[in-house]
Structure 1
């Protein structure tokens, strides 16, 4: 657990600290109080953030905590899972956008290498994004498997589109 108290101004620095903690997968119990699973990486990064908070004229307290009982532990794990599921839902919406883009290109018969390359870049972005989410999914959120399957579906869709591009380009020669 980490508790940070930093001056309200400049807000940019306070927000940057908040974003870094969220970027590590932290959940906030209340303003300035963040929980993260104990790992060597988290401990190292929290010490760096503690030093930054001190340089900003603030303070940080880093603690190792244990839930009072199983119900409290379940509640905290549920919060971690809910945060990841929110990210997975955003990811799934982007997969919908990817599918719609391939459908538009197919309907318009845009079977060009330029379109294929553009869609390949989009798929790579989806892959990287899912990797980032999974890295922060400490407790296997409910939508993790759905997101992985959805990425596989996007990959298969792009493979089928690629075949149509190859076929169309071959016909043009």
Structure 2
């Protein structure tokens, strides 16, 4: 039968100050929570998620709000599939944004090549941008609880960006040797 269990977190907080309400929303999204509706979200049942949600439960109380934390499961496989599809859709949206940033990275290196800009300063800047992409993909991957469809494409695209930077670095080193 149905084997996946989730943590259902519901909360209601005062509308003001808005910054606290927004910070709470960001923290829940940062955990990978899927919102079923305003103030109602799900996370896979793990000890870490339970611990973090209990801490958020305390923060909601400090905001003069109310919250309820429950463990739940789908009634049937159809409902379970709907929930998993929501998690995958959220991650695919993040992977899609990531793929767009990879395209920007590739375009930037192409622009530098076209301008014959083979400097250490530019290489350092591109290396920093690649590190940001690597960190971002790692963060998305940690929240990809059910294997979103764009995960493999995003990983392959990052490898392409890494290879592109390696090739650009070789060109920078060659250009710098010629200038000596």
What TM-score, normalized to structure 2? 0.95
Which has more strand, going by share of residues?
2
User: Residue 8 of structure 1 corresponds to which residue in structure 2?
Assistant: 15
User: Residue 50 of structure 2 corresponds to which residue in structure 1?
Assistant: 43
User: Residue 5 of structure 2 corresponds to which residue in structure 1?
Assistant: none
Gaps of 5+ in 1: none
Pairwise CA RMSD: 0.5
- Counterpart Cα distance in 2 of 1:133 and 1:102: 24
User: Residue 68 of structure 2 corresponds to which residue in structure 1?
Assistant: 61
Is the partner of 2:167 in helix, strand or coil?
helix
What TM-score, normalized to structure 1? 0.99
Of 139, 151, 163 in structure 1, the residue corresponding to residue 158 of structure 2 is 151
- Counterpart Cα distance in 2 of 1:41 and 1:110: 47
In the alignment of these two chains, the number of paired residues is 173
Gaps of 5+ in 2: 1-7
Matched, 1:165 2:172: yes
User: Residue 22 of structure 1 corresponds to which residue in structure 2?
Assistant: 29
- Counterpart Cα distance in 2 of 1:117 and 1:13: 37
- Counterpart Cα distance in 1 of 2:125 and 2:94: 24
CA shift digits 1:96-154 (9 cap, x unpaired): 00000000000000001110000000000000000000000000100000000000000
Is the partner of 2:134 in helix, strand or coil?
helix
User: Residue 84 of structure 1 corresponds to which residue in structure 2?
Assistant: 91
Is the partner of 1:60 in helix, strand or coil?
strand
User: Residue 131 of structure 1 corresponds to which residue in structure 2?
Assistant: 138
Matched, 1:70 2:62: no
Residue 12 (structure 1) shift: 1.0
User: Residue 127 of structure 2 corresponds to which residue in structure 1?
Assistant: 120
Is the partner of 2:73 in helix, strand or coil?
coil
Is the partner of 2:75 in helix, strand or coil?
coil
- Counterpart Cα distance in 2 of 1:59 and 1:144: 36
User: Residue 110 of structure 2 corresponds to which residue in structure 1?
Assistant: 103
User: Residue 4 of structure 2 corresponds to which residue in structure 1?
Assistant: none
- Counterpart Cα distance in 2 of 1:124 and 1:9: 37
